[in-house]
């Protein structure tokens, strides 16, 4: 009986392990190598899976808005709009969970896949909704009436 409980405990721990991947809320930072040099920035992910990003490349500052799709240890950050001064191809990050506060990612944009992997690291948790944070990046969403 003890052996069965031990096996059940291991099984439950195995299937529960990726559960933190679904809790991506918070502020994340990155530094990634791109075609024209290094990009650095901050992302804020809210409880609804919406993401706002403010970034800087060697050529310009830019911001992007989008959403997160998570399944197990795979995470996609799908940007759907961008603001920039010189034109910028919208990013799409494909990531694998490396721990509760780290994602290992690569980017595919309108130009193609960038081969260098980079890390997103959570620098802090935010309140349930980051309203007021990066409001200049993405338009405020209307909340449904209940």
Q: Where are the domains of the chain?
A: 19-124
CATH 1.20.59.10 given to domain 19-124: no
In this predicted structure, the answer to whether residue 97 has a pLDDT above a threshold of 60 is yes
Q: What angle do CA 115, 34, 26 make, to 5 degrees?
A: 95
pLDDT for residue 23: 87
pLDDT for residue 128: 42
- Least confident among 9-18, 52-61, 78-87: 9-18
Contact 30, 43 (CB under 8 A): yes
- Alpha-carbon span 122 to 100, nearest angstrom: 8
Please name the helix (run of DSSP H) or strand (run of DSSP E) that holds residue 78, with its range, or none.
Answer: strand 74-84
pLDDT for residue 36: 85
Give the pair of three-digit tokens for residue 137: 């990046």
pTM of the model: 0.75
CB atoms within 10 A of CB 13: 9
Residue pointed to by tokens 């595919």:
108
Mean pLDDT of 53-82: 95
% of the chain with per-residue pLDDT over 70:
71
pLDDT grade for 6, boundaries at 50, 70 and 90: very low
Contact 13, 67 (CB under 8 A): no
Q: What is the mean pLDDT of the chain?
A: 80
pLDDT grade for 12, boundaries at 50, 70 and 90: very low
DSSP reduced 3-state for 17:
helix
């Amino acid at each position: 009986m003890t052996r069965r409980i031990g096996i059940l405990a291991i099984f439950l721990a195995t299937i529960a392990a990726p559960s933190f991947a679904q809790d991506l809320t918070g502020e994340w930072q990155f530094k990634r190598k791109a075609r024209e040099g290094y990009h650095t920035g901050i992302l804020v992910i809210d409880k609804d899976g919406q993401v706002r990003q403010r970034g800087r490349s060697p050529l310009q500052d830019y911001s992007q808005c989008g959403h997160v799709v998570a399944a197990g240890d795979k995470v996609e950050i799908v940007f759907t709009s961008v603001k920039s001064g010189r034109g910028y191809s919208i990013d799409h990050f494909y990531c694998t969970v490396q721990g509760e506060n780290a994602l290992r990612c690569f980017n595919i944009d309108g130009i193609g896949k960038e081969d260098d992997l980079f890390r997103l690291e959570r620098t802090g948790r935010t309140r349930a909704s980051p309203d007021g944070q990066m409001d200049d990046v993405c338009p405020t969403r209307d909340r449904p009436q209940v």
